Amino acid sequence: MFILVIFINFLSIFCFICSINTIRTRYKLNPSSGMESVYYKTSFTTLNILSLGLCLYCWNNPGWLIWINLTSINAMIVALCLGFYPQFYIKWITSSHSLRKSSH
């Protein structure tokens, strides 16, 4: 169960950074469109609340504390990954852009 919680929380942080335009500007990527930003922000909120819910469900008393600290750790990991391996983020953004363009 804890692997699932870590994964969902990690994914939520990734959705969060995808919605931030300052990071896109740094890597000279297209700024997010209005709908795209809404998708990412909604995903971030949903996944993060889901991870909070799972934390509260699995770890009765300090579930909220686990969630806060887990989010901090995952945010740190995402920041380090983004610094050292930005290609994964760039690849995701560019591929998701091309997907949307082709669907239009």
Residues in contact with another protein by the rule CB under 8 A? 2, 17, 20, 22-23, 26, 59, 61-62, 65-66, 68-70, 72-73, 75-76, 78-80, 82-84
Tokens 């971030």 found at: 44
DSSP-H helix ranges across 20-33: 21-26
Residue closer to another protein (CB basis): 65 or 99: 65
As to burial, measured by CB atoms within 10 angstroms (0-12 exposed, 13-18 middle, 19+ buried), residue 41 is: middle
Residue closer to another protein (CB basis): 50 or 75: 75
Contact by Cβ (8 Å): 90, 29:
yes
Tokens 């995808």 found at: 18
Report in angstroms how near the CB of residue 77 gets to another protein at its nearest. Answer: 10
Residue closer to another protein (CB basis): 23 or 29: 23
